[in-house]
Structure 1
Amino acid sequence: MSTLDKASDSRTELATEESGDALHPVTRAIHWFTVLAIIAVFVSVLIGADLEDPDQKKLIVGFHQSLGLSVLLLNGLRLLWRWWHPMPSLITDPVKRRIGHLSHAAVYSLLMAQPLLGWLYVSARGRTASFWGVPMPALIDKNRELADSIHTWHENTGWLLLALIALHALAALHHHYVLKDGVLRRMVRGR
């Protein structure tokens, strides 16, 4: 049996674990840790906006950077996990299934782009991004004009991501309360 056949068999075996009324615990854990990290990222922005003490502001900025890079790491893990562990869809309508796939792809793309834009912004400012106290390498050279542009993209992408997450949550509630198809239950409930 070739390596590709073994990998395909492994993915098929793992996919069968996702069937039924619950998703794999790793799938659920990555999802909910990402949700918590995103909430904390947005809360850190709200808290940081009102701070005047430079030491407190520096602490919140470091927390914000670490959380953002955690989202990047979690999303990278999610993409690897989903490649090895595909989730079967409960949605039978091909148009709705396609919309679901496209919306997930948009959220995953923004979950990668948003922290990378933040990291690029910090680098362009000539500063060092930190991941829970570990200094991260600069992605680009210092460039104040570019930094301002990246910051605008970072802010706008954040609002777009928040809007897509809100639509994602509304769709999950629609599946649960209107369609009653078990889509939300699979992400919440254990086996």
Structure 2
Amino acid sequence: MTTLSPSSAPARLAHYDTTTIVLHWLTVVLVLGLFALAEIWGFLPRGTPTRRLLQSLHISFGLAFACVFVLRLVWRLSAGRRLPRATSGWMGAASVGVHGLLYLLMAAQIVLGFLFRWAQGEPFAFFGLFDIPTLIPIAHEQRRFIGGLHDTVAWIIITLAALHALAALFHHYVLRDGVLRRMTSSR
């Protein structure tokens, strides 16, 4: 059984700052939206206007996600409020491990998205406002391999994010330790 350590008892009442909370939930919305867009266009015939629109939105929101991710990292490493661990033991270690793995996978996913688009050799536009230039030439033959990795990492992220959400709900409804409230209100 995992219990709160004495030093983390006050952490149950602490909250993250507003910027951390906004960046967290913006990340959630973008990750879910990007995943949904990719899954939906998979059911549409190639070359249809709707499929192309969904792919264009995926690229644009993917670029927005990359910006939010960088902002989140910078904020977390500089001005973001740091709270003590809410739990100790294996639950605390699992929490740190899952958070670290999610950050690593999201960074990898962003890099894979850029590489995949460059390997496709197609325009890389942000909502039609401007194009992202190809910084690293990638052989067109690599697109299937990179695309496969991009898909696999997406499924791993969604699976870990679902486990993360279930853990938050477990903390809220079963343990009743206030962990979820830390990320839902800055008060």
Distance 2:135 2:104 in 1: 19
Deviation at 1:94, TM superposition (A): 4.6
Relative to the length of structure 1, the TM-score reads 0.83
Identity %: 34
- The answer on 1:36 being equivalent to 2:32 is no
Could you tell me which amino acid in structure 1 is paired with residue 36 of structure 2?
V
2:139 counterpart (139, 143, 156): 143
Q: Is the 8 A contact 1:41 1:67 kept in 2?
A: yes
Distance 1:45 1:92 in 2: 36
Distance 1:19 1:181 in 2: 6
1:28-107 alignment runs, 5 A limit: 28-52=21-45, 54-84=48-78, 85-107=80-102
Relative to the length of structure 2, the TM-score reads 0.84
* CA deviation map 1:91-127 (0-9, x unaligned): 2415432321111011111111112211111101112
Report the equivalent of 2:176.
180
Q: Is the 8 A contact 1:30 1:74 kept in 2?
A: yes
Q: Secondary structure at the match of 1:65?
A: helix
1:112 counterpart (103, 107, 110): 107
Q: What RMSD, in angstroms, separates the aligned Cα atoms of the two structures? A: 1.9
Could you tell me which amino acid in structure 1 is paired with residue 31 of structure 2?
I
Q: 1:47 to 1:163 in 2, by over 3 A?
A: same
The higher relative CO (CA closer than 8 Å, separation ≥ 6) is in 2
Distance 2:37 2:123 in 1: 19
Distance 1:102 1:142 in 2: 32
Deviation at 1:22, TM superposition (A): 2.4
Contiguous gaps of at least 5 residues in structure 2: 1-10
Q: 1:126 to 1:179 in 2, by over 3 A?
A: same
Q: Secondary structure at the match of 1:50?
A: coil
Contiguous gaps of at least 5 residues in structure 1: 1-17
